[in-house]
Amino acid sequence: PQLVNQIAAGEVIERPASVVKELVENSLDAGAGHVEVQVEAGGSRLILVRDDGGGIHRDDLTLALSRHATSKIATLDDLERVATMGFRGEALPSISSVARLTLASRQPGENNAWRVVADGTESGYEPQPDAHPVGTTVEVRDLFYNTPARRKFLRTEKTEFGHIEGVIKRIALSRFDVGFSLSHNQAPVIRYKPAADDAQGERRIGAVCGEDFLRQAVRVDFASAGLRLWGWVGLPTFSRGQADMQYFYVNGRLARDKLVGHAVRQAYQDVLHHERQPAYVLYLELDPALVDVNAHPAKLEVRFREGRLVHDFLFSALRRSLADLRP
C-alpha cells in the first residue's frame, strides 16, 4: 500500500502548494470558519494547516490516513453535485506516504483531542491523547524526504511559497465567509477576515486583488435562462505587466476552460478593442447537471453540456458590463 500511496501522491502531490490545497479544502469540507496556514522553507520543511471545523473522531483518525477508506462520495448523485471539494479519499494517505504527517483533532463535545503520527511506514497510528482546541491541525514535515527525485525537482523557497500564496488566494476568492491566514518562516503574509455578507465581499476582492483593481473594476451581475454571472471585471490595461488576475469560478470551484477564455476575450475585443490580459474575478452559477467536473482532483477543467449556450451567455453578459468600463 505504501507504494500505491506514493504513486497516487505522484498524481495529486506535485509540490508543496498541492499539499496546501488538499489540506485547506479538507478544512473547508469540515465547515471551518477560519483556516490558518503556516509554512516554513517554501513548504518543504513544514506545512501546518489548522482549522476550527468539526474535527475527526478518535476512531476515525487512523482511517483518515488509509486510502479510499473515507471518500466523501456516497453515491453517483453526490459525484455529480460534487457537494464537497474532496471526493477521493486519497489526499491524506498520499501526503503521508511522501512526508511525515501528524494529525491532531478534537470534535465539539469531546473532553480532549487525539493525535496520530504517520511517518510513512504505515505502522502504529495508534491515537494518543493530545491538547488541541475543537478543530483539526495537520502538520506535514519534510515533504518528499523519501522520494529524492521529487525533492530535487522543487524550486526555490520563494517560488514554492509563491505557488502556496496563489492557492490561498484562489481558495479565498471562493469563500468570502471564511477567514484565512498564511505565514512564511514565522512572518505573517496573508490575513483575510471572514466577510459577514455580500457587501463585505468587496473587501475580500480588495484584499486579494488589490485596492487598485477594485477601484477601476466594474461589477457584473447578470442572469438569464437559469445562468447567473457575477463578479468584477477590470480594464485590460490594468493587468499589463502584472501577475495574472483571471479568476473564473463555476459553481464555486475554480475552473479553467477554453470556451470561457474565448468568450471573455471576445467580449473585451468587442467592447474595448483589446483582448489581451483581461483582469477579472467572475462567478458562474448554473444547474450542476449542465457541467462535468473533471474527476481528477488536481485539474481544473470543466466541460459544459450546453457549451454554445454558456459561451453566448458569458459573451453578452460581459459585453454589457464592459460597456460601463469604456473610457
Phi and psi for 276 in degrees, rounded to 5? -85, 150
Between residues 71 and 181, which has the closer beta carbon with respect to ligand ADP?
Answer: 71
- Angle, helices 2-12/91-98, rounded to nearest 10 degrees: 100
State the Cα–Cα distance between residues 241 and 277, nearest whole angstrom.
9
Residue 261 · residue 282 · CB < 8 Å: no
The total of other beta-carbon atoms located within 10 Å of residue 270's CB is: 15
Give the one entry of ligand ADP, Mg ion, none that residue 234 binds, where binding means its C-beta sits below a cut-off of 5 to 8 angstroms depending on kind: none
Between residues 171 and 263, which has the closer beta carbon with respect to Mg ion?
Answer: 171
Instruction: Tell me: does residue 26 bind Mg ion (CB under 5 A).
Output: yes
The identity of residue 219, as a single letter, is R
Between residues 85 and 286, which has the closer beta carbon with respect to ligand ADP?
Answer: 85
Between residues 16 and 278, which has the closer beta carbon with respect to ligand ADP?
Answer: 16
Give the one entry of Mg ion, ligand ADP, none that residue 82 binds, where binding means its C-beta sits below a cut-off of 5 to 8 angstroms depending on kind: none
Give the one entry of Mg ion, ligand ADP, none that residue 165 binds, where binding means its C-beta sits below a cut-off of 5 to 8 angstroms depending on kind: none
State the Cα–Cα distance between residues 316 and 266, nearest whole angstrom.
10
Distance in Å, CB of 210 to ligand ADP, minimum: 30
Distance in Å, CB of 255 to ligand ADP, minimum: 19
Give the one entry of ligand ADP, Mg ion, none that residue 71 binds, where binding means its C-beta sits below a cut-off of 5 to 8 angstroms depending on kind: ligand ADP
Task: Tell me the site size for Mg ion, rule CB under 5 A.
Answer: 3
For residue 35, give every residue at least 6 positions away whose Cβ sits within 8 Å of its Cβ, in sequence order, or none.
Answer: 24, 27, 28, 49, 50, 51, 178, 179, 180, 181
Give the one entry of ligand ADP, Mg ion, none that residue 30 binds, where binding means its C-beta sits below a cut-off of 5 to 8 angstroms depending on kind: ligand ADP
Residue 289 · residue 213 · CB < 8 Å: no
Between residues 47 and 220, which has the closer beta carbon with respect to ligand ADP?
Answer: 47
Instruction: Tell me: does residue 86 bind Mg ion (CB under 5 A).
Output: yes
Give the one entry of ligand ADP, Mg ion, none that residue 72 binds, where binding means its C-beta sits below a cut-off of 5 to 8 angstroms depending on kind: ligand ADP
Q: Name the residues that contact ligand ADP, by CB under 6 A.
A: 22, 26-27, 29-30, 51, 53-56, 64, 70-72, 86-92, 136
Distance in Å, CB of 64 to ligand ADP, minimum: 3
Between residues 29 and 275, which has the closer beta carbon with respect to ligand ADP?
Answer: 29
Distance in Å, CB of 87 to Mg ion, minimum: 8
The CA-to-CA distance between both ends of the chain, in Å, stands at 60
Instruction: Tell me: does residue 35 bind Mg ion (CB under 5 A).
Output: no
Give the one residue of 37, 91, 167, 314 binding Mg ion; rule: CB under 5 A. Answer: 91
The identity of residue 28, as a single letter, is L
DSSP 86-145: --SS-HHHHHHHHSEEEEEEE-TT-SSEEEEEE-SS------EEE---SEEEEEEESTTT
Instruction: Tell me: does residue 297 bind Mg ion (CB under 5 A).
Output: no
Q: Half-sphere exposure of 39 toward its Cβ, with a 13 Å CA cutoff? A: 32
State the Cα–Cα distance between residues 231 and 281, nearest whole angstrom.
6
Between residues 55 and 278, which has the closer beta carbon with respect to ligand ADP?
Answer: 55
State the Cα–Cα distance between residues 125 and 103, nearest whole angstrom.
10
Residues in contact with Mg ion by CB under 5 A are 26, 86, 91
